[in-house]
């Protein structure tokens, strides 16, 4: 038992003496793990083992760890290494050593050697402290470096590459001198001299450095003082002065280089080009509008998401459709209208602000635009500040800015020339009285006070100025102020419309401002209009619930509806503002009974609005046709045997069903078409029968005009014939052209022609052709093929699980083995201890017994000697 470890340790000892190659070549050390199969391309890790080596390694490790622990067992005192960073594994050993060294030095320095110059000696490299060099904070030197570029003196090379060469050389020269003059000097003296010299040198250097430091600081101070004076000048210029003059050629090259960098700006656009750009923009917007009108926005995006494969033709199909529409639309008359407006709107694309400024410039002279100039100045200041920050790029930016400004000026000039004549009169009036800055009104009453007593044009000016003075880019709170301002303006519109007589011209003037504000804050505008519509719809609903019918919306509401159409696109398939507005109109047309000429007028305004709402989208509004039929029915004299049926709110006969029948059938002779006043929807007093008749005829004319428009709008509908059949019957049988004044006869004829010209035949309905369903193109299912011996589990998780289990098992076994080995090692160690203790005891006993035997022997010898 006891021998095996001893042997082993002996073997270990032997092994230690040998190199690894020796061991590997020794066939007795090597254990070859036999392979059953030779697999090509597989690298086996464990084909060869060195059991002896690994055993000795493990033994060694145990001796270092386990044995130490064992020895330390039951001992309370401990040896702790308190050197710096001893147990810090993160620190590199070099760092540790360095840190320890510096700490040591510091301690020494702190205590007693404060005044000891000699002991202060640092480790230097050619006169420079190594510690200093480590820190790399010698700023002055780095500056010098750049200046001394290209000067390859011996000194320099020496400093850079010489290492300790210089010192050596000096030493050497010094020795030579000493050799020559005072050979007699002892070694001691020599050393002292050397030390002194070096100390002197060091002091000099220190002084020099301090001076340099001082000078730089002073220079900095001075620079700061004059910096404010020469803002524009770049520091580059200073440098150039300091430096030796550059070659002229170099300068040229550099200048050229900078010039090359300047970005080519866009060239000035000719008016035609501007118009084209404008038209393209409008075309884009129009295409966008058409897309919204079709209502396929959501679908489109949905398609994009569930995109199946490239074979799917669905997307392309719809796109084509869209394109076609756009093109056909461009060729229509819409385009012409755009172009004429394009010229007007040229200034618009520069941006809202500029646009307004331009307008105001047109209206006022430079001296008046104080606030604008201030604003400009502010901007300029900001620019300057920015300039300080940048160095070289500024010049480019400035040049760009200049160019842009020039452009702006050009466009400003255009607008000036355009608007100069128109604004001349206003200009004069404006010069007379109006102030130029306005604070945003805090409440509706503020606004009313501000606008009170001004002419419509001036009111518009004031509103424009309020809007401009409080542009959101000027202050943070302005956005909210202007959003509220929009609401106040709407309230103001309401007030204007409720006045008697309504001041519609003022409202007309305010429209551009409302539009501008709406463009600025679509959300707020949308919310305000929605609230108005919600309230109106709610009150109508309540009236319907209580009374069963409602009265026609008042003038204010009609104007709001019109304004809605001006601010928001009416052709959208679904729009948060215009859709409810359209619903409101339709409800008013169906639920409000017509009881007076005033109601007829209101209804006709609503019809006009409905026609305008669907003018672009050509959507079908049944209520509109119903109402027009009913309105025409009001003019039918003989209500018997109608041949068509009117729809509520109209009644075939009874009270108020002959509102438009002329009281005097001769009165149409001296009637001429003129426009109906909008105020007739609010208060209509017609005193004489003649007035009343002429109003009736005008209403009839309006109704016929609207019918004509409807006919043209709905010509392509499948049921056109059935929709307009009642109107056709009415016009041909009950309201013949002979009974109408001459201007209306033409209209009458046109309508009947359109109705009769409509195609009556239709092909039967069929479902849309199903687009071929593309074959499902599945992604191939990729199964990972792992050529492993143990291929358990199919999914990745299962395999991972298996792997982990296996690993755990292996580790568990390994740990058990290790523990067994540990305990074996410890047992051996204990045995060793016991054995050695026993051996010691044996030895001592032996010794004692020996000495006792000696004593005994001696004593016996003495005794024998005595005996003898």
**Closest distance of CB 537 from other proteins, Å:** 5
Residues contacting 140, CB < 8 A, separation 6+: 209, 212, 213, 216
**Closest distance of CB 585 from other proteins, Å:** 9
Tokens 């069963």 appear where?
548
Alpha carbon distance 679, 685 (integer Å)? 11
Site for other proteins in 507-526 (CB under 8 A): 507-508, 511-512, 514-515, 518-519, 522-523, 525-526
611 binds other proteins (CB under 8 A): yes
Alpha carbon distance 545, 533 (integer Å)? 18
**Closest distance of CB 431 from other proteins, Å:** 24
772 binds other proteins (CB under 8 A): no
Tokens 């016991």 appear where?
834
Smaller CB separation from other proteins, 621 or 730? 621
Interface segment toward other proteins; rule CB under 8 A; list 109-117, 466-474, 500-508, 783-791: 500-508
632 binds other proteins (CB under 8 A): no
**Closest distance of CB 551 from other proteins, Å:** 16
Residue 125: in which H helix or E strand, if any? Answer: strand 124-125
Smaller CB separation from other proteins, 430 or 525? 525
411 binds other proteins (CB under 8 A): no
Alpha carbon distance 12, 55 (integer Å)? 9
660 binds other proteins (CB under 8 A): no
460 binds other proteins (CB under 8 A): no
534 binds other proteins (CB under 8 A): yes
Please choose, from the candidates 535, 519, 449, the residue with its C-alpha nearest in 3D space to the C-alpha of residue 486: 519
Alpha carbon distance 131, 845 (integer Å)? 65
647 binds other proteins (CB under 8 A): yes
Residues contacting 222, CB < 8 A, separation 6+: none
Alpha carbon distance 427, 269 (integer Å)? 30
Smaller CB separation from other proteins, 236 or 655? 655
Alpha carbon distance 435, 462 (integer Å)? 9
**Closest distance of CB 285 from other proteins, Å:** 4
**Closest distance of CB 350 from other proteins, Å:** 14
Smaller CB separation from other proteins, 468 or 562? 562
CA distance readout (Å), 208 to 203, 212, 214: 9, 6, 10
**Closest distance of CB 229 from other proteins, Å:** 50
Which member of 423, 451, 597, 614 binds other proteins (CB under 8 A)? 614
483 binds other proteins (CB under 8 A): no
Smaller CB separation from other proteins, 12 or 599? 599
Which member of 579, 729, 745, 750 binds other proteins (CB under 8 A)? 579
β partners of residue 128:
125
Smaller CB separation from other proteins, 451 or 533? 533
Smaller CB separation from other proteins, 174 or 677? 677
Interface segment toward other proteins; rule CB under 8 A; list 187-195, 339-347, 365-373, 410-418: 339-347
CA 197 from centroid of its chain's CA atoms: 67
Smaller CB separation from other proteins, 678 or 711? 678
771-805 burial code (b ≥16 CB/10 A, e <16): eeeeeeeeeeeeeeeeeeeeeeeeeeeebeeeeee
Alpha carbon distance 213, 207 (integer Å)? 10
Site for other proteins in 708-767 (CB under 8 A): 709, 717-723, 760-767
Q: What three-state secondary structure class fits 49?
A: strand
Tokens standing for residue 303 = 């398609």
**Closest distance of CB 368 from other proteins, Å:** 25
Residues 828, 5: contact at Cβ < 8 Å? yes
**Closest distance of CB 681 from other proteins, Å:** 9
Q: What are phi and psi of 31, to 5 degrees?
A: -115, 125
Q: What angle do CA 534, 539, 541 make, to 5 degrees?
A: 95
Smaller CB separation from other proteins, 12 or 623? 623
Alpha carbon distance 265, 323 (integer Å)? 33
**Closest distance of CB 404 from other proteins, Å:** 24
Q: How many C-beta atoms lie closer than 10 Å to residue 677's C-beta? A: 15
Which member of 157, 645, 664, 851 binds other proteins (CB under 8 A)? 645
Smaller CB separation from other proteins, 199 or 292? 292
Residues contacting 9, CB < 8 A, separation 6+: 59
415 binds other proteins (CB under 8 A): no
Site for other proteins in 233-252 (CB under 8 A): none
**Closest distance of CB 713 from other proteins, Å:** 9
Residues 724, 625: contact at Cβ < 8 Å? yes
70 binds other proteins (CB under 8 A): no
Interface segment toward other proteins; rule CB under 8 A; list 150-158, 190-198, 343-351, 728-736: 343-351
Site for other proteins in 210-229 (CB under 8 A): none
Residues 369, 469: contact at Cβ < 8 Å? no
351 binds other proteins (CB under 8 A): no
Give the contact letters, 661-700, x = binds to other proteins (CB under 8 A), - = no. --------------xxxxx---------------------
Rg (CA), the chain: 53
Alpha carbon distance 533, 578 (integer Å)? 10
Q: What are phi and psi of 185, to 5 degrees?
A: -55, 135
Smaller CB separation from other proteins, 59 or 483? 483
Which member of 56, 617, 657, 667 binds other proteins (CB under 8 A)? 617
Smaller CB separation from other proteins, 517 or 828? 517
Residues 55, 29: contact at Cβ < 8 Å? no
469 binds other proteins (CB under 8 A): no
587 binds other proteins (CB under 8 A): yes
Binding footprint of other proteins, residue count (CB under 8 A): 105
Q: How many C-beta atoms lie closer than 10 Å to residue 524's C-beta? A: 19
Residues contacting 45, CB < 8 A, separation 6+: none
538 binds other proteins (CB under 8 A): yes
Residue 622: in which H helix or E strand, if any? Answer: helix 622-633
**Closest distance of CB 426 from other proteins, Å:** 15
566 binds other proteins (CB under 8 A): yes
Smaller CB separation from other proteins, 268 or 583? 583
608 binds other proteins (CB under 8 A): yes
Tokens standing for residue 107 = 């301690």
Q: What are phi and psi of 48, to 5 degrees?
A: -125, 130
791 binds other proteins (CB under 8 A): no
**Closest distance of CB 637 from other proteins, Å:** 23
Give the contact letters, 282-301, x = binds to other proteins (CB under 8 A), - = no. x--x--xx--x--x------
Smaller CB separation from other proteins, 59 or 682? 682
577 binds other proteins (CB under 8 A): yes
826 binds other proteins (CB under 8 A): no
Please choose, from the candidates 114, 101, 102, 15, the residue with its C-alpha nearest in 3D space to the C-alpha of residue 56: 15
659 binds other proteins (CB under 8 A): no
627 binds other proteins (CB under 8 A): no
Smaller CB separation from other proteins, 570 or 754? 570
Alpha carbon distance 542, 533 (integer Å)? 14
Smaller CB separation from other proteins, 512 or 741? 512
Please choose, from the candidates 474, 476, 428, 437, the residue with its C-alpha nearest in 3D space to the C-alpha of residue 455: 428
Tokens standing for residue 760 = 């009556």
Which parts of 137-243 are beta strand (E)? none
């Amino acid at each position: 038992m006891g021998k095996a470890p001893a042997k082993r340790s002996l073997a270990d000892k032997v092994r230690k003496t040998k190199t690894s190659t020796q061991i590997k070549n020794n066939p007795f050390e090597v254990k070859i793990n036999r392979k059953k199969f030779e697999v090509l391309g597989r690298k086996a890790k464990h084909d060869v083992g060195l059991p002896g080596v690994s055993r000795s390694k493990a033994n060694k490790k145990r001796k270092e760890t386990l044995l130490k622990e064992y020895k330390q067992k039951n001992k309370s005192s401990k040896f702790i290494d308190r050197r710096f960073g001893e147990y810090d594994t993160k620190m590199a050993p070099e760092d540790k050593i360095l840190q320890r060294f510096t700490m040591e030095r510091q301690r020494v320095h702190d205590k007693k050697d404060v005044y000891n110059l000699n002991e202060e000696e640092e480790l230097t490299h050619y006169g420079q402290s190594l510690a200093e060099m480590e820190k790399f904070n010698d700023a002055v030197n780095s500056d010098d470096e750049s200046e001394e570029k290209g000067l390859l003196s011996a000194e320099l090379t020496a400093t850079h590459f010489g290492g300790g060469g210089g010192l050596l050389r000096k030493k050497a020269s010094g020795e030579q001198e000493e050799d020559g003059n005072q050979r007699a000097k002892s070694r001691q003296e020599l050393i002292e001299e050397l030390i002194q010299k070096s100390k002197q040198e060091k002091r000099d250097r220190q002084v020099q450095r301090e001076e340099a430091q001082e000078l730089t600081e002073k220079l900095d101070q001075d620079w700061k003082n004059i910096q404010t004076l020469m803002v524009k000048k770049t520091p580059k210029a200073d440098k150039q002065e300091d430096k030796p003059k550059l070659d002229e050629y170099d300068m040229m090259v550099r200048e050229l280089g900078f010039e090359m960098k300047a970005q080519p700006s866009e060239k000035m656009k000719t008016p035609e080009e501007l118009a084209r750009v404008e038209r393209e923009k409008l075309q884009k917007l129009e295409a966008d509008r058409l897309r919204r009108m079709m209502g396929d926005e959501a679908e489109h995006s949905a398609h994009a998401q569930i995109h199946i494969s490239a074979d799917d033709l669905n997307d392309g199909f719809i796109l084509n459709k869209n394109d076609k529409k756009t093109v056909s639309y461009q060729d229509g008359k819409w385009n012409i209208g755009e172009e004429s407006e394009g010229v007007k709107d040229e200034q618009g694309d520069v941006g809202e602000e500029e646009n307004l400024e331009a307008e105001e410039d047109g209206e006022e002279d430079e001296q008046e635009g104080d606030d604008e100039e201030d604003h400009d100045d502010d901007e300029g200041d900001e620019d300057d500040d920015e300039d300080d920050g940048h160095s070289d790029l500024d010049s480019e930016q400035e040049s760009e800015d200049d160019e842009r400004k020039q452009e702006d000026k050009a466009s400003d000039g255009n607008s000036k020339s355009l608007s100069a004549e128109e604004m001349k009169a206003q200009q004069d009036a404006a010069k007379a009285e109006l102030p130029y800055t306005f604070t945003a009104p805090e409440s509706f009453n503020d606004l009313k006070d501000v606008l009170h007593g001004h002419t419509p044009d001036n009111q518009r000016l004031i509103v424009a100025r309020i809007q401009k003075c409080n542009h959101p880019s000027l202050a943070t709170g302005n956005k909210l102020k202007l959003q509220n301002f929009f609401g106040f303006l709407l309230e103001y519109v309401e007030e204007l419309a409720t006045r008697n007589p309504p001041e519609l011209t003022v409202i007309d003037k305010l429209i551009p401002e409302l539009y501008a504000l709406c463009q600025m804050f679509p959300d707020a505008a949308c919310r305000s209009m929605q609230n108005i519509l919600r309230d109106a719809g709610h009150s109508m609903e309540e009236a319907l619930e209580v009374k069963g019918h409602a009265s026609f919306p008042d003038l204010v509401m009609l104007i709001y509806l019109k304004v809605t159409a001006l601010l928001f696109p009416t052709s959208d398939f679904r729009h948060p503002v215009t859709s409810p507005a359209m619903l409101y109109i339709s409800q008013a047309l169906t639920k409000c009974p017509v009881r007076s000429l005033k109601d007829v007028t209101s209804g006709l305004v609503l019809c006009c609005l409905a026609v305008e709402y669907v003018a672009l989208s050509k959507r079908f509004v049944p209520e509109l046709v119903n109402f027009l039929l009913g309105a025409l029915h009001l003019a039918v004299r003989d209500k018997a045997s109608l041949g068509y049926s009117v729809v509520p709110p109209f009644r075939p006969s009874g009270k108020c069903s002959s509102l438009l029948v002329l009281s005097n059938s001769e009165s149409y002779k001296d009637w001429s078409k003129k426009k109906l006043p909008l105020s007739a929807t609010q208060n209509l007093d017609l005193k004489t029968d003649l007035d009343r008749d002429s109003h009736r005829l005008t209403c009839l004319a309006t109704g016929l005009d609207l019918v004509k428009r409807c006919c043209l709008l709905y010509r392509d509908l499948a049921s056109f014939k059935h929709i307009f059949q009642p109107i056709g019957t009415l016009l041909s049988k009950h309201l013949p052209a002979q009974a109408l004044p001459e201007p209306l006869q033409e209209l009458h004829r046109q309508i009947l022609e359109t109705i009769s010209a409509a195609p009556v035949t239709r092909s039967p309905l069929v479902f849309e052709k199903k687009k071929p369903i593309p074959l499902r193109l599945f992604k191939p299912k990729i199964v990972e093929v792992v050529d492993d011996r143990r291929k358990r589990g199919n999914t990745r998780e299962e395999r991972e699980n298996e792997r982990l289990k296996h690993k755990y098992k292996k580790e568990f076994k390994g740990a058990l083995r290790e523990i067994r080995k540990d305990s074996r090692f410890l047992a051996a160690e204990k045995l060793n201890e016991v054995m050695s203790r026993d051996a010691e005891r044996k030895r001592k006993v032996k010794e004692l017994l020996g000495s006792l035997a000696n004593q005994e022997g001696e004593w016996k010898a003495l005794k024998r000697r005595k005996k003898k």
